[in-house]
Amino acid sequence: MSAPAPPGGARWKPAPLLPRDDARETALLFVVAVLCFLACLAAITALASDRAAQGWSREIRGEATVQVRPALNETGSAAAARAAEVLAGVPGVTEAAALEREKAEELLRPWLGDAVLDDLPVPHLVAVTLDPERPATSQDLRVALRRAGVDGLVDDHGRWLKDVERSAALVRVGALFLFALMAAAAGAVIAFATRAGMAARRDVVEVLHLTGARDDFIAAVFQGRFARLAAEAGLYGALAAAAAAAILKLAGSGGGFGPALPMTWSDLAVVSPCPLVAATVAAVAARLTTLRLLRGSP
Positions in the binding site for another protein (CB under 8 A): 1-7, 12-15, 17, 19, 203-204, 206-215, 217, 295, 298
For residues 24 and 196, the answer to whether their CB atoms sit within 8 Å is: yes
Nearer to another protein, 166 or 214 (CB): 214
We find the least distance from the C-beta atom of residue 32 to another protein, in angstroms, to be: 24
Distance of CA 58 to the CA centre of its chain: 18
We find the least distance from the C-beta atom of residue 280 to another protein, in angstroms, to be: 24
For residue 107, the SS3 value is helix
Task: Provide the edge-to-edge strand list for the sheet that holds 151-155.
Answer: 93-98, 124-130, 63-69, 151-155
Q: Which of 28, 148, 147 is nearest to 82 (CA)?
A: 148
Nearer to another protein, 37 or 226 (CB): 226
We find the least distance from the C-beta atom of residue 292 to another protein, in angstroms, to be: 13
Spatial distance between the Cα atoms of 186 and 255, rounded to a whole number of angstroms: 32
We find the least distance from the C-beta atom of residue 173 to another protein, in angstroms, to be: 43
Nearer to another protein, 7 or 113 (CB): 7
For residue 126, the SS3 value is strand
We find the least distance from the C-beta atom of residue 195 to another protein, in angstroms, to be: 20
Nearer to another protein, 207 or 247 (CB): 207
Nearer to another protein, 99 or 213 (CB): 213
Distance of CA 258 to the CA centre of its chain: 15
Spatial distance between the Cα atoms of 188 and 226, rounded to a whole number of angstroms: 12
Spatial distance between the Cα atoms of 222 and 287, rounded to a whole number of angstroms: 7
We find the least distance from the C-beta atom of residue 224 to another protein, in angstroms, to be: 14
Q: Give the helix/strand (H/E) hosting 203.
A: helix 202-210
Nearer to another protein, 25 or 151 (CB): 25
Spatial distance between the Cα atoms of 111 and 122, rounded to a whole number of angstroms: 13
Nearer to another protein, 19 or 132 (CB): 19
We find the least distance from the C-beta atom of residue 27 to another protein, in angstroms, to be: 20
- DSSP strands (E only) in the chain: 63-69, 93-98, 124-130, 151-155
